[in-house]
Amino acid sequence: MPLVSGDELLPRARRGGYAVGAFSIHTPEMVDAVFLAGEALRAPVILQVGRRAVRHSGLEACCGWVRARAAASPVPACLHLDHAQSLEAIVQGIRAGCTSVMYDGSELPFADNIRETAAIARVCRAAGVPLEAEVGRVAGVEDDLSVQEAEARLAGPADCARFVAETGCDALAPAVGNVHGLGGETPRLRLDLLRAVAAAVALPLVLHGGSGLDAGQMAAAAAAGIAKINIDTELRRAFVGGLGAGLAAFGPQDDPAPALAAGALAVRQQVEARIRDFGSAGKA
């Protein structure tokens, strides 16, 4: 079926108490794996294109893989541009066929983030494409944060409510203890803070840095108002691990297809596990 807008998936997920998986893709094999997982479990899926994939393969190519595969799939799928940091990048994503985009102004001072996000939201609204934005700073595994520094990056409910009111964004990604990437101890979500943000903001909420979180935290986050959970690092690790196992199993040869298929299967299995964790199986 044709790609659907994020607005067709996320409000329904928030009302239903489940989350739609937003899976970052880096190769055509990963795209197919995400669709196969969604089709097997009758789950809606979001396929994300981020800066790493764009640097490697180009925006048009990545979006083209998703558009072509979506046309042959019976499950609703959204194509999302992740972590764009300029209006130019947002416009490029919309022109490439993205049906959802994210502007990341979280590195800016709060007032500047509001101003820039509001300007981009007006452009997205005119184009009919929903906009996700971020409040607070989601740490990365490379960050060496003290507890006080980590706490200072969290998103408060009052700031979230003000941000939504003044920007007109369509989905909000608050920093609630989540961490980008994998490494070190398993992050612990501040579910109390997430519930307070959800009480202050009626929009669908987004959880960045879903890789590495356990199933219990995923379910609790969805019940608390998270409608979209981003998964990237664990899919890249699954693909590379499966690819390596495939190369080892098939030995020296000049056909890459078996090893690529092994990498794709590892991704599919990981995506299926996460769809179950998010509660989105059977929601297509």
Residues annotated catalytic, as ranges: 82
Looking at residue 263, its amino acid is G
- φ, ψ for residue 92, nearest 5 deg: -60, -40
Report which secondary-structure segment, H or E, holds 52.
helix 51-57
Report which secondary-structure segment, H or E, holds 242.
helix 233-250
Handedness of CA 49, 54, 59, 63 (dihedral sign): negative
Report which secondary-structure segment, H or E, holds 180.
strand 179-180
Of 179, 164, 99, 92, which is closest to residue 133 (Cα–Cα)? Answer: 164
**Residue at token pair 């094999």:** 29
Of 5, 32, 37, which is closest to residue 21 (Cα–Cα)? Answer: 37
For residue 80, list its beta bridge partners. Answer: 48, 100
For residue 231, list its beta bridge partners. Answer: 23
Of 119, 85, 83, 80, which is closest to residue 100 (Cα–Cα)? Answer: 80
Q: How crowded is residue 125: how many other Cβ atoms within 10 Å of its Cβ?
A: 14
